[in-house]
Structure 1
């Protein structure tokens, strides 16, 4: 990881050689290892361009090295009926109010 990130820094002329860029292993994430790249630019107005160049090159280098960034996957289910709601333990106050209104309107008819 360090070699890839530091190699990217060597390719970006906006980054200063001194202080030299550093890679820090910050933490274990939910589905990731979190690294932080410290690099310096000569002027604050160059910062956004440097970040853009770093990110683009890191993406390309990760792709070349077959490094995959894990993204969390979410599953969304839609319940078809009130029976599904009861079966899945998702009975709540809103569902009870809806049922009560339905019963009340039937009683009025």
Structure 2
């Protein structure tokens, strides 16, 4: 019975932790005919943030005219937690995705 309580407590603790952490847009590398490069995070946008259909759209820029967008979908509502959010938009000039964190 004691083992069951410990396992239940650990699972409950992990469940609570998984919903409380802040996420950020991922680091992305792009491979193309001329080679490979890391693109720099520039901005994020929340779409349908109050619904289970919420999406965080992460935008990146690379050399020349290379641009990349990636969508982060978690099937739950999402809220902005980083320091650079202005409504549903967040931008940074230094590539620090933590300034556009969300949960």
Higher helix share: 1
TM-score, normalised to structure 1, is 0.27
TM-score, normalised to structure 2, is 0.28
Task: Please identify the structure whose Cα radius of gyration is greater.
Answer: 1
Higher strand share: 2
